[in-house]
Amino acid sequence: MKKIEFRSYAKVNLILNVLSKCEDGYHNIESIMQSISLSDKVTISERKSGINISCNHDLVPTDFESLAYRAAEKILIECDGDQGVNIKIDKEIPLASGLAGGSTNAASILTGINKLYNLGINSGKLREIGGELGMDIPFFIQNGTALAYHKGEKIAHFESINPPLWLVIVNPGFEVSTHWAYQNLDVKKNNLKKDRINKMILALKNGNPELIAENLYNSFEELMNEKFPETEDLKNDLIKAGALGALMSGSGPTIFGIAKNKNDAFNIVERMKFSSKFIRIVHTI
C-alpha cells in the first residue's frame, strides 16, 4: 500500500490588519504570514474507496463535516476512478490557537493526495481549491513568508527570512473561536499606520529581528486583552524575559516573542518555564 507523510507547519501573523466586513460574512484583511517549525504530521495512504480519518487528539473532528474530510473529498473528485484515502493526523499544534492547525492540515491533505495519486494539479489550482475551503489554506500550499490580502486567500510570497528568525511561542491553554473573534471585532478601532507593512517587508528582507519586532501588529489584541487578560500578561512576560517584541497570532490566544538568536530563545524559555504548560522554541521556515 502506497503511503506518504507530510509535515503540516503552523504559522504566525507578524501583521494582521482587519480592514472591513464583507457581505458574505468574511473580512477584508492584510496580513504578513510566516511559517514556523512547529508542525503536525499527516500520513496519507491508499484506500479502495471512502475517506477514513484518525487523530491522536480526541477533540479533533474526523467526520464528514470536518475540514480535513472536506479537503480530501474535494480533491478526490479529481481522480479518474473511485479512489479513497486513509488519513492519520498526529497533532502537536494546539487547537483553536491562532496558529491555523486545521488549515495547514487541510493544505497537507490536498498536496498529499495530489502526490499520492499523481493527479498533476499545479500549485495555483491547489490554492484555488484550498480557497474554497478556508481563507488560510492557500498560504499553506507553499508556506514560507507571504503577504495575504483580500479575504486572506490572495497570496504574494517573499524570499524566506535569512538567517531564520527564532521565536518563543506560548499558549495559555484555552481555545478561542475564530468566528467569535471576527464577530466581536470593531474594525473602526484599528490604528495600524499605513507604512507599517512596508517597514515589516523591509525588515524581513534584511533579516533584522529588532525591526521585525518593532513593527508587529494584530487587530485582535485589544479585543482579546479585554476578554482574556492573561494574553496580555503572557505578552508582557515574554518581553520581561528578554523578547525583542511579542504579539498574539491570528485571533489568539497563542502569543509569540521574537528572540535575538537561538541562545536568547533558550534563555527566554528558562525564565518563562513556569508561565505556561505549552511553551516552545521554534524558528521560521
Within the chain, all domains assigned CATH 3.30.70.890 are found at 166-283
| Residue 192: pLDDT over 90 | no
- Selected residue with higher pLDDT from 92 and 152: 92
Q: Are 236 and 229 in contact (CB under 8 A)?
A: no
Tell me the average pLDDT across 61-85. Answer: 91
Expressed in angstroms, the distance from the first to the final Cα of the chain is 31
The Cα 138–Cα 55 span in angstroms is 23
pLDDT band at 275 (very low <50, low <70, confident <90, very high): low
Nearest to 272, CA basis, from 117, 167, 155: 167
Question: Tell me, what's the pLDDT at 274?
Answer: 67
Q: Are 95 and 178 in contact (CB under 8 A)?
A: no
Please confirm, yes or no, whether 136 is among the known catalytic residues: yes
Q: Are 162 and 41 in contact (CB under 8 A)?
A: no
Cα of 196 vs its chain's centroid, Å: 21
The domain 166-283 is placed in CATH, from the list 3.30.70.890, 2.60.40.10, 3.30.70.1380, 2.60.120.370, at 3.30.70.890
Q: Are 140 and 34 in contact (CB under 8 A)?
A: no
β-bridge pairing 84-90 and 51-55: parallel
The Cα 61–Cα 54 span in angstroms is 9
In single-letter form, the type of residue at position 157 comes to H
Question: Tell me, what's the pLDDT at 1?
Answer: 75
Residue 86 phi, psi dihedral angles, 5° rounding: -105, 135
Please confirm, yes or no, whether 11 is among the known catalytic residues: yes
Q: What is the pLDDT of residues 149-168, one digit of tens each?
A: 998 888 999 888 888 999 99
> Residue 39 in 3-state DSSP?
strand
Q: What is the pLDDT of residues 95-117, one digit of tens each?
A: 999 999 999 999 999 999 999 99
Which of the residues 11, 40, 235, 264 is marked catalytic? 11
pLDDT band at 277 (very low <50, low <70, confident <90, very high): confident
Q: Which residues contact 258 (CB under 8 A, 6 or more apart)?
A: 165, 166, 167, 209, 212, 213, 216, 243, 244, 245, 246
What share of the chain has pLDDT > 90, as a percent? 79
Question: Tell me, what's the pLDDT at 276?
Answer: 65
Question: Tell me, what's the pLDDT at 33?
Answer: 97
Which of the residues 2, 82, 90, 136 is marked catalytic? 136
Nearest to 76, CA basis, from 127, 121, 136: 121
The average confidence (pLDDT) of the chain is: 92
Within the chain, all domains assigned CATH 3.30.230.10 are found at 3-157
Class of CATH domain 3-157: alpha beta
